[in-house]
Structure 1
Amino acid sequence: MGYACPVCETPQQDEEHLANHLAFAAMLGNEGHEGWLDEHVPEWGKMGPDELGDRVTTFAPEEEFETVFEDTTGGHDHGGSGRLEDAVPPQRGRQAMGGEASEVLAEAQAMTREMYESEEE
């Protein structure tokens, strides 16, 4: 069981993965994900994955997926504090960063766009 992203229908393993997927896509400039979060969970940027996961799963019912998730392959640990704002600069976007961090974000945005474009084809 898992959740389909309410924006792009990408399968997610659990509430935490769904929350992270939505938040990171939004923070990387995906307007669809950011707009959806702003509409459905306006205070999403101040929430950690657990709290955000609880909120977003009310809009994404559990679904059966034939996708292999980490829980079927040995798992992994995300580490960190569990709070989104600890992983992201205070302001969203490249304006809050400089140098190498800005370049990494730009590359991640390009890769994300390519991923979504290839899924649409």
Structure 2
Amino acid sequence: MGYACPVCDDPQADATHLANHLAFTALTGGGDHETWLDDHVTEWGQLGETELAERVVDHADEREFPQVFEESGVADHDHTDDLPPGADSHRDRSMSDDDAAVLEEARELTKEMLDDAGAPAETDGDDAGDETE
């Protein structure tokens, strides 16, 4: 089970992923996702991911999706380990200055949200092999 984005219908694994999808898409591309958030959760920019998830999940359809989400059941993760070495820095260099500024702001907001939620601080990657599959 998961939730369909109320804007674009993309499948999301859980309420937190839905909130992050809506907020990140609104911050990076604006458009329909930003308009939807402005209409349904006017103070969305000031909420942490948990609070935003609680607000947006009531507006999303819960559905059975044919694929299994690889993050299902994993509470604390990031996707930087999914990138090949050097891909993140290459991506930053290949975007416009405006896009890079938006991405940096999104990173800072995400870090603030995680700090506010009491999430563990980012690691330097030394424990990347500690996860069980």
User: What's the counterpart of residue 38 of structure 1?
Assistant: 38
1:59 aligned to 2:69? no
Alpha-carbon distance in 1 for matches of 2:42, 2:34: 10
Distance 1:75 1:45, change over 3 A: closer
Q: Which amino acid aligns with 1:32?
A: D
Distance 1:64 1:27, change over 3 A: same
Structure 2, unpaired ranges of 5+: 80-95, 104-133
Moved over 4 A (4+): 72-76
- Cα deviation for residue 41 of structure 1 reads 0.3
CA RMSD of aligned residues (A): 2.8
Percent of residue pairs identical: 49
Alpha-carbon distance in 1 for matches of 2:75, 2:47: 24
- Cα deviation for residue 75 of structure 1 reads 7.9
> What's the TM-score once normalised by structure 1's chain length?
0.61
Distance 1:54 1:75, change over 3 A: closer
What SS does structure 2 have at the residue aligned with 1:67?
coil
Alpha-carbon distance in 1 for matches of 2:51, 2:40: 14
Q: Which amino acid aligns with 2:28?
A: L
Distance 1:32 1:43, change over 3 A: same
User: What's the counterpart of residue 104 of structure 1?
Assistant: 100
Alpha-carbon distance in 1 for matches of 2:17, 2:41: 16
Alpha-carbon distance in 1 for matches of 2:54, 2:72: 23
Is this contact kept in 1: 2:13–2:72, CA < 8 A? no
Equivalent pairs counted in the alignment come to: 87
> What's the TM-score once normalised by structure 2's chain length?
0.56
Alpha-carbon distance in 2 for matches of 1:103, 1:32: 18
Which is greater in Rg?
Answer: 2
Distance 1:72 1:44, change over 3 A: closer
Q: Which amino acid aligns with 2:33?
A: H
What SS does structure 2 have at the residue aligned with 1:25?
helix
User: What's the counterpart of residue 27 of structure 1?
Assistant: 27
